[in-house]
Chain A
Amino acid sequence: GDSVIQMQGQVTLSENDFLFINCTYSTTGYPTLFWYVQYSGEGPQLLLQVTTANNKGSSRGFEATYDKGTTSFHLQKTSVQEIDSAVYYCAMRDVDSNYQLIWGSGTKLIIKP
């Protein structure tokens, strides 16, 4: 069945480090892919989404490319700041799943000051 895999449960970086959070998906369809960010004590909020394969989404310095060849949608940021500390969720929506979001398990990003 459809699935979204985030292998990294936690990532710890220092300020100005490069961020890379892994996300791979599995589906037979043509999904829309999302990254959500959840700050402590808040609900998840949409960070970026990409509908079309090989397109890139970007927001607030974060980027992710929908790579249909490798079925990946990794999240990257060149230089992280302490305010980026949060949990990041990768998610997929596909017509095969009646458009219900399928969520990864989340990656907690800790930025050391």
Chain B
Amino acid sequence: DMKVTQMPRYLIKRMGENVLLECGQDMSHETMYWYRQDPGLGLQLIYISYDVDSNSEGDIPKGYRVSRKKREHFSLILDSAKTNQTSVYFCASSRHNNQAPLFGEGTRLSVL
């Protein structure tokens, strides 16, 4: 079953804490993405990964970093989270970068 899995689905953190959002896919897709979604702003690309250790900044990378050490896993890290990083984060993957991405269910992050 083709699926992108995000963990955790819900997370509450305090300002200044570190946050790790994990994403996995079992389709051997080359390209993986991290987006955030805020009301009225739609989907904004944070980072894109073209394969293991081949990551590029998206439109809003500030305050985030990513790690992709295995093709099937793509992590989003917030070092010292800020309240304005409260959002819903979506991971997605596609076989190649010119194909439509398949999205996960999202992680709802609250930074208090």
Interface residues of A (CB under 8 A from B): 32, 34, 41-46, 49, 89, 93, 95, 98-101, 103-106
Contact = CB atoms under 8 A, between A and B. Distances in A.
Interface string B62-98: 0000000000000000000000000000101000011
6 contacts: A43-B103, A43-B105, A43-B106, A44-B43, A44-B103, A45-B102
B92 to A, nearest CB: 8
Nearest to A87: B42
A53 to B, nearest CB: 17
B42 A89 contact: yes
Given A43-B4, A89-B43, 11 more contacts: A32-B98, A41-B105, A43-B92, A43-B106, A45-B102, A95-B98, A99-B98, A101-B45, A103-B43, A104-B42, A105-B41
A87 B41 CA distance: 13
Contacts of B102: 45-46
Contacts, number: 41
A32 B48 CA distance: 19
B61 interface: no
B42 A105 contact: yes
Nearest to A46: B100
A4 B102 CA distance: 20
A44 B48 CA distance: 17
Contact of A101 (B90, B101, B105, B106): B101
A43 B100 contact: no
B42 A43 contact: no
Contacts of B40: 105
Contact of B90 (A44, A49, A93, A99): A44
Nearest to B4: A43
Contacts of A41: 105
Contact of B97 (A34, A44, A89, A98): A98
